Structure 1
Amino acid sequence: MARTSKPVYDTDSPPKKRAVKSATPRALSASEIARNPSHFETWSSFQGCEIAAYSDLPDVLSQTAVDVFDTFARLPRAWVDATSAQYGSMQSTCSSECLNFFGAAYEACPDMFSDDVDPSTASSLRLFDDLRCVFVAHERLLKLQSSEGAVSEASMVANVYEVIRSSAVSTSSYRAKCPVTLAQPMERLTITPDSLRILSAATVIPDAALFVPALSIRDLSHSTTSALKTLKRSPRTGKPAAFSGQATPCTQLPALPAFEFIASVWEDKKPTQTAVEDAYRQNRMSTTAAVRHLHAMHVHAPVFGLLWADGTVRAHVDWATGDWDASPTVQSAPYPGAQLSQGVHLFQEWKLKNPADALAVFLLVRNIDAYASGALVQRVRAGVQDLVESVIDQSIPFHPWKRVGKLVASQRKVLGNINAVESAKENTTEQSSVEPEPVKRTKRTTTRRRRSTPRSSYSPA
């Protein structure tokens, strides 16, 4: 049997070096900031964020918000009228549970239905087909909530939320998990070492967002004389590549340089006690980036946020105030409902287990979809044209909004400490009148090492 030699280890090889930890603390993520009210307060202060009342909406934006939240008189009353011909045809194509679903919604909120809506038009027929998906989502929600096991966020999203969203969005650009770059902190505030970890967060990933459709504003960036390329060539907007990044709120730039604008941001949360507060704070981080981007492009328009948690939907509307050439104040107003006292209720809550609320959420998402492809497009065109006139004709420098590069803490305190130390050294030298005695150097003695073996007395002949 062949003998195997033992491995030989090199004892003279140096030991492995330990990984040296970086002195720079790890930046907090957007979700970590949102889960900590103190961290979020620091972040929002550097972003100029404020909580506002829904009544604080400016007059130029209030009507847009009213149109988005208006879900009354949108459905044909013939759908719930047993004597109508339309109801008779529905009985042959729909299950009794589906008809009962619309009937329960009518009993809870009859103002959602109207005789002025013709049930025989093509738009009404398509609307009814889409609303069948809402009925399916409602049935799935009831099954999930009646199950004995815990309901996960992923189950709610896949079986309920996404079913309603995908059926309601038809004209705008719907993107899920699209990373959004956070805005630059305000220049007038000093970044301390304690706040650096919080402010170093550069990206937030909302669960879903609605964008202005690219085709509706392609002419703003396609030709050589377009607004985007005209602004890129201007020295008052910085480097061309830098302005291409400022033109979109997304972290990943589009394949071709183009403007991109967000109309609405949505956040999903697990069914926990603090889910609503966490979702609102994290969604505000996304809407703040969208609002800051709109403001930098001279677009005066609101951004709508939706919070989805435990089968309940809440909404808020955010907007910017301030001059175009400065960092704005970002206002965020929870939507209290059209018929609720703003002093009692902070949020209007739509319970998706209620048929009327489920239909109202569908109509709300469809209104936002129409806003993203209609009124917002008009505001974008007017704002971008105003930006071109400001930069090109009036020679006003472009004010960037997007986070670029790495943040550093202010060195004022550090420099102050260094100056204090140097000053202390000078004072000590001036006050000392006696020179210190020189250090006496002693002669270094060396001991002769004795050999371990005696010298040999043998000498060759």
Structure 2
Amino acid sequence: MARTTKISYDSDSSPKKRVAKSATARALSASEIARNPAHFETWSSYQGCEIAAYSDLPQELAQIVTDVLNLSSRLPRAWADPTSAYYQSMQSSCSPGFLGLFAEAYKSCPGMFSDDIDATEASSLRLFDDLRCVYIAHERLLRLQSSEGAVSEASMVANVYEVIRSSAASTSSYRAKCSITLAQPLERLSITTDSLRILSAATVIPDAALFVPSLSIRDLSHSTTSAFKTLKRSPRTGKPATFAAQATPCTQLPALPAFEFIASVWEDKKPTQTAVEDAYRQNRMSTTAAVRHLHAMHIHAPVFGLTWADGVVRAHVDWATGDWDTSPAVHSAPYPGVDISNDVHLFREWHLKKPADAIAVFLLVRNIDTYASGVLVQRVRDGVERLADSVVQQRVPFRAWKRVGKLNVTPLREKKVLRNSNSGDSAKENTTEQSSVEPPPVKRTKRTTRRRRSSPRSSFSPA
């Protein structure tokens, strides 16, 4: 039986009407923003993001990035030379297909091999064993592509991508599906009704990320006199719980509060994404959060992004510029390859079905892994020391970067203030970013209307 709605009536009054509450628009997810170029442009504008050329890298970061992306002269040429004594000795213990992988790679990319590398050294022997995973992934990829029917990205991830990248990461902290908190929009830009739905996205979940190993920086937060606990106690960093959240880019805080830093973020193309550019935009949302976090901690270092789609890998490098006490500009440069004279905005693409490219991707991930546990660790130490000196000694308030609370449309009077402050050449940004955070909701009481009761007629009648 269908339910009917009963309408109540008052005497001498019209039927009661319920006034519907205005519904708040649902916040878009990071994936939805990435799939829509217009939405992503709005989001990136409020984050201070911009595309840069690879040649725009600052001088102090250029050598670091070059060392990570340099894949030449990494393997002994004896691995690909059938006439060498080492090659002949390995024929009895290795499958012909595995040795053939190096021979094919040498034909298309001889610069990856060098006569100066001793194949019998311990480091070469370890690398030789580690590269067996590339052979396994390459064979699986060929089988998937030769099978009937379309190959899903889920199959590519499980059989190819994860086999290569999880094996290449050996010294850093490898985390899959780690939720990352997005950064607060720039304070100098007012939030409009149209942009609120886009900017309200709070988290992004990359498919994988490489973190600085926690043991290598444990001393920065373990002792009571460590930089982490000193900053946490300082009144210029806000509440202790607030700084603990700001010290990590992750949404979930570590079991023992401490610093956490990202070196690289990876994104796989999803079935809902029609092009690899969608994965690239979503990966930039993750790298932007990592870069904003590094800048807030006074760390000047690059973050490497990798996108994996249809058996093809691309790389981009992101970094921040700007003073420590202001919101930075976040630059993202596609990596065009060794020859950057053709077009600085073209990506170098590694096709995993090619033996040389499959090996190159493994070496690239291994380079990033080395960076995360080496150069970046030192940069982290220098930056945290710089931050502690700024807050404790120079008494400069800590500038939060992480989203805290719910965003709200900027009031009209604040928009006027923002326009005036942005027009001045010497105007500086405030040290906190809470003008667009919604205050605690005010509890409203239900308003009731009292009905006036009519007085009874008097029984008195005049004589």
Q: CA deviation at 1:412?
A: 1.3
Does structure 1 residue 281 correspond to structure 2 residue 281?
Answer: yes
Q: CA deviation at 1:339?
A: 2.1
Distance 1:273 1:384, change over 3 A: closer
SS of 2:91's equivalent?
Answer: helix
- Distance, in Å, in 2 between the alignment partners of 1:90 and 1:22 is 73
Q: Measure the CA separation in 2 of the matches of 1:38 and 1:66.
A: 33
Structure 1: tracts of 5 or more residues without a match: 1-8, 417-443, 445-461
**Does structure 1 retain, via aligned residues, the 8 Å contact 2:105–2:356?**
yes
Partner of 1:90 in structure 2? Answer: 90
Q: How far apart, CA to CA, are the structure 1 residues paired with 2:303 and 2:129?
A: 29
Deviation at 1:340, TM superposition (A): 4.3
Paired AA for residue 375 in structure 1: V
- 1:425 — aligned with what? none
Secondary structure of the structure 2 residue equivalent to 1:117: coil
* Structure 1 letter corresponding to 2:109: C
Give the letter for the 2:268 counterpart: D
Q: Contact (CA 8 Å) 1:152, 1:270: kept in 2 or not? A: no
CA distance in 2, matches of 1:238, 1:245: 11
Q: Give the conservation status (yes or no) of the 8 Å contact 2:54–2:344.
A: no
Match runs of 1:65-76 below 5 Å = 65-76=65-76
Amino acid paired to 2:354: N
Structure 1 Cα separation of the partners of residues 97 and 122 of structure 2: 24
Deviation (angstroms), 1:20: 6.9
Say if 1:117 and 1:190 are closer, same or farther in 2 by CA, change over 3 A.
same
Question: CA offset at residue 90 of structure 1?
Answer: 1.4
Report if aligned partners of 1:43, 1:199 keep a CA contact under 8 Å in 2.
yes
Equivalent residue letter for 2:352? L
Task: After TM superposition, list the pairs within 5 Å mapping 1:86-235 onto structure 2.
Answer: 86-235=86-235
**1:341-420 maps to which residues of 2 (within 5 A)?**
341-343=341-343, 346-412=346-412
Aligned to 2:264, the other structure's residue is in SS state strand
Would the aligned equivalents of 1:270 and 1:310 in 2 still touch at CA under 8 Å?
no
1:21 shift after superposition: 6.9
Q: Percent identity?
A: 78
Larger Rg: 1
Deviation at 1:311, TM superposition (A): 0.2
Q: Output one character per residue of 1:411-434: Cα deviation in whole Å (capped at 9) or x when no partner.
A: 318999xxxxxxxxxxxxxxxxxx
Unaligned runs of at least 5 residues, structure 2: 9-17, 417-453, 455-463
Q: Is the 8 A contact 1:296 1:401 kept in 2?
A: yes
* Match in the other structure for 2:439: none
Structure-2-length-normalised TM-score? 0.84
In the aligned structure 2, how far is the partner of 1:405 from the partner of 1:310? 38
CA distance in 2, matches of 1:415, 1:142: 58
Deviation at 1:345, TM superposition (A): 5.7
Q: Would you say the 8 A contact 1:181–1:249 is kept in 2?
A: yes
Amino acid in structure 2 at the alignment position of 1:126: R
Amino acid at match of 1:282: Q
Q: Which residue of 2 aligns with 1:422?
A: none
**Partner Cα distance (2:298, 2:415) in 1:** 39
Q: What's 1:79 paired with?
A: 79
Per the TM alignment, residue 118 of structure 1 is displaced from its structure 2 partner at its CA by 1.0
Q: Deviations over 1:98-149 (max 9, x none)?
A: 1111100000001101111111111111111111110110111111112221
For 1:409, give the aligned amino acid. Answer: V
Separation in 2, partners of 1:260, 1:123: 29
**How far does the alpha carbon of each residue in 1:348-386 deviate from its partner, in whole angstroms, 9 at most, with x for none?**
000000000001000000000000000000000000000
1:290 maps to 290
CA RMSD of aligned residues (A): 2.5
- 2:460 matched residue in structure 1: none
Task: Determine helix, strand or coil for the equivalent of 1:313.
Answer: strand
Q: Contact (CA 8 Å) 1:267, 1:308: kept in 2 or not? A: yes
DSSP 3-state at the match of 1:150:
coil
Distance in 1 between residues matched to 2:22 and 2:260, nearest whole Å: 37
Question: Per-residue displacement from partner, 1:220-267 (whole Å, max 9, x unpaired)?
Answer: 000000000000111000000000000000000000110000000000
Structure 2 letter corresponding to 1:28: L
CA contact (8 A) 1:133 1:163 kept: yes
Aligned twin of 2:15: none
**Kept in 2: contact 1:271–1:309 (CA 8 A):** no
- 3-state secondary structure, aligned to 1:111: helix
Number of corresponding residues: 408
* Equivalent position SS for 2:301: coil
Do the aligned residues in 1 keep the contact of 2:53 with 2:345 (CA within 8 Å)? no
- Give the superposition deviation at 1:391: 0.3
Distance in 2 (CA, whole Å) between partners of 1:141 and 1:19 is 59
Aligned 8 A contact 2:270 2:279 in 1: no
Whether the 8 Å CA contact 2:273–2:279 is kept in 1: the answer is no
Q: How does 1:305-344 map to 2 (within 5 A)?
A: 305-343=305-343
- Cα distance in structure 2, aligned partners of 1:101 and 1:39: 44
Q: Aligned pair in 2 of structure 1 residues 19, 348: CA closer, same or farther (>3 Å)?
A: farther
Q: In 1, distance between residues paired with 2:293 and 2:139?
A: 39
Name the residue aligned to 1:431. none
Change (3 A) 1:158 1:306: same
Q: What TM-score, normalized to structure 1? A: 0.85
The CA deviation at 1:270 is: 4.1
Residues 79/246 of structure 1: CA separation in 2 closer, same or farther (3 Å cut): same
Name the CA distance, whole Å, in 1 between partners of 2:20 and 2:304.
45
Q: Aligned residue for 1:436?
A: none
User: For the residues of structure 2 that align with 1:74 and 1:155, how far apart are their CA atoms?
Assistant: 30
- Give yes or no for contact 2:266–2:283 (8 Å, CA) kept in 1: yes
Assess if the C-alpha contact under 8 Å between 2:134 and 2:359 holds in 1: yes
CA distance in 2, matches of 1:199, 1:99: 52
For 1:270 and 1:147, how far apart are their aligned partners in 2? 21
| Cα contact 2:210–2:265 (8 A) shared by 1 | yes
Q: Give per-residue Cα distances to partners, 1:183-208, cap 9 Å, x unaligned.
A: 00000101001110000000000000
Alignment of 1:42-61 (within 5 A): 42-61=42-61
> For the structure 1 residues 359 and 19, does the alpha-carbon distance in structure 2 shift closer, same or farther, using more than 3 Å as the test?
farther
Distance in 2 (CA, whole Å) between partners of 1:158 and 1:379 is: 34
Separation in 2, partners of 1:26, 1:212 = 35
Aligned AA (1:89): S
CA contact (8 A) 1:271 1:310 kept: no
